[in-house]
Amino acid sequence: MSQVEAFSAAEVIAAKRDHRALTDPQIDWVIDAYTRGAVADEQMSSLLMAIFLNGMDLREISRWTDAMINSGERINWSALSRPTVDKHSTGGVGDKITLPLAPLVAACGAAVPQLSGRGLGHTGGTLDKLESIPGWRASLTNAQMLKVLQDCGAVICAASADLAPADKKLYALRDVTATVESIPLIASSIMSKKIAEGTNALVLDVKAGAGAFMSDPKKAAELSHVMVGLGKRAGVNTVALVTAMDIPLGLTAGNALEVREAIEVLAGGGPSDVIELTVLLAQEMLELAGIKGADPAAALKNGKAMDVWRQMISAQGGDPDAKLPVSKENLTITAHSTGTVLSMDAKKVGLGAWRLGAGRSRQGEVVQAAAGIEIHAKPGDTITNGAPLFTLHTDTPAAFARAQESLVDSVRIGDLAAGEKIDRLPLIIERITD
């Protein structure tokens, strides 16, 4: 016998269309019924658009988040002897921070259960990056995750199908109905997964600037306040940093290229912005986890974080000594004048890397491990006419022309007047604790 439904989808849609707040039972029902298939995609699309246009108040967002958590399992790490702490980034170009950060924080005494996703669009996904390491496996059972966490202190792997399944369905629908960029929907989507993941504490790295999906720092701060509130209400000690994504992070965008850069950081080198953000986020995570006296900057220099990285990669079948894939073809783009690099558009660089094969346009598409862009000069650097600016890597040379199109106008080179500063966002724009 079919289930008697508590509401009709049309009355829930009409309530939000008419600017009324949804009740707790309406929210619980619509998320559950959509997950079971009793609310159709076209009905949920209408409701999402009504939410996109008319918003939700904090009570509604909180209940919506809980309903998505309750659609699946909630992981329990109580068998661990260390406190758990995770980091989530809203995504950016060249954002490989998770790779050095997870082993670093583990080396300093916390447990880091990092359940990650794959990239869609111009920002890369952590799993895609790690999959460029020969043999490395993203899919683990919960028992395997626990074992890697117990043995290494950190695990980076794919979230199981049982973790907030309502969000998986909703996110795919939002992607094709132009309803992604809504603060209530983004906040509940991210936080439902992080709360279900069972971490005790969470640091959010909310990106702002051209390469972020929320380019306005004020909007990024607004999103941060909502997410911090949701985390705290669920008993997860949460802090957010709004950080710069107007220019790419580090000197690489693309899967294997970014792994190589992350390994440089773990070896005590690497670009200064990647080191600075990694250490700052590690300090935030350790503070939230209640670990005192650790020195993450030293753990990068003295090889302790690298030891955890090697252990963690091996535990998931990867060979930490294997040669990373190299592209079949590359092409260097040179500077067209002499001067200072005044600006670099992260989005255009990300799009270029994506067009070279580093990213996907549809879920399930295969990415090229070696594709991407190396950046030879960043804003503030001086460069001479004809010197290398970017090196493009791909296995499909036909992609060069389209990638070059996206890089046209991505960089401005000129002269800085005396006393003039590069116009760019500070690396840390704001710290949000409530």
Per the annotation, the verdict on 17 as an active-site residue is no
Q: What is the β-pairing status of strands 237-244 and 112-116?
A: unpaired
Q: Which is nearer to ligand URA, 117 or 320 (CB)?
A: 117
Which member of 190, 279, 281, 286 binds ligand URA (CB under 6 A)? 190
Cross-strand bridge partners of residue 340: 382, 414
Span near ligand URA by CB under 6 A; candidates 178-186, 234-242, 272-280, 396-404: 178-186
- Please state the closest distance from residue 33 (CB atom) to ligand URA, in A: 21
Is residue 115 within the footprint of ligand URA (CB under 6 A)?
A: no
Is residue 48 within the footprint of ligand URA (CB under 6 A)?
A: no
Handedness of CA 386, 390, 392, 393 (dihedral sign): positive
- Please state the closest distance from residue 192 (CB atom) to ligand URA, in A: 9
The whole-angstrom separation of Cα 393 and Cα 354 is 11
Which member of 115, 186, 244, 315 binds ligand URA (CB under 6 A)? 186
Which member of 46, 179, 189, 224 binds ligand URA (CB under 6 A)? 189
Per the annotation, the verdict on 167 as an active-site residue is yes
The whole-angstrom separation of Cα 254 and Cα 346 is 13
Cross-strand bridge partners of residue 332: 391
Give the number of other CB atoms < 10 A from CB of residue 17: 16
Is residue 52 within the footprint of ligand URA (CB under 6 A)?
A: no
Which member of 171, 309, 354, 390 binds ligand URA (CB under 6 A)? 171
The whole-angstrom separation of Cα 217 and Cα 244 is 9
Residue type, 252: T
Per the annotation, the verdict on 174 as an active-site residue is yes
Span near ligand URA by CB under 6 A; candidates 77-85, 99-107, 179-187, 233-241: 179-187
Per the annotation, the verdict on 336 as an active-site residue is no
C-alpha distances out from residue 84 to 78, 241, 307, 344, Å? 9, 19, 20, 37
Span near ligand URA by CB under 6 A; candidates 9-17, 47-55, 181-189, 241-249: 181-189
Q: Which two tokens stand for residue 272?
A: 């200064």
Q: Which is nearer to ligand URA, 190 or 202 (CB)?
A: 190
Per the annotation, the verdict on 193 as an active-site residue is yes
Is residue 136 within the footprint of ligand URA (CB under 6 A)?
A: no
Q: Which H or E run includes 69?
A: helix 58-69
C-alpha distances out from residue 283 to 104, 149, 280, Å? 10, 20, 5
Q: Which of 87, 169, 174, 194 is catalytic?
A: 174
- Please state the closest distance from residue 170 (CB atom) to ligand URA, in A: 8
Q: What is the widest separation between alpha-carbon atoms in the chain? A: 79
In 3-state terms the chain splits into helix, strand, coil percentages (rounded to 5) of 45, 15, 40
The whole-angstrom separation of Cα 388 and Cα 336 is 10
The whole-angstrom separation of Cα 405 and Cα 276 is 32
Is residue 377 within the footprint of ligand URA (CB under 6 A)?
A: no
Q: Which of 66, 95, 128, 167 is catalytic?
A: 167
Is residue 305 within the footprint of ligand URA (CB under 6 A)?
A: no
Q: Which two tokens stand for residue 69?
A: 């958590």
Q: Contacts with ligand URA: how many residues (CB under 6 A)?
A: 7
The residue at minimum Cβ distance from ligand URA is 189
Q: Which is nearer to ligand URA, 65 or 410 (CB)?
A: 65
Which residues sit at the interface with ligand URA, rule CB under 6 A?
Answer: 90, 171, 180, 185-186, 189-190
Catalytic residue list:
88, 167, 174, 189, 193
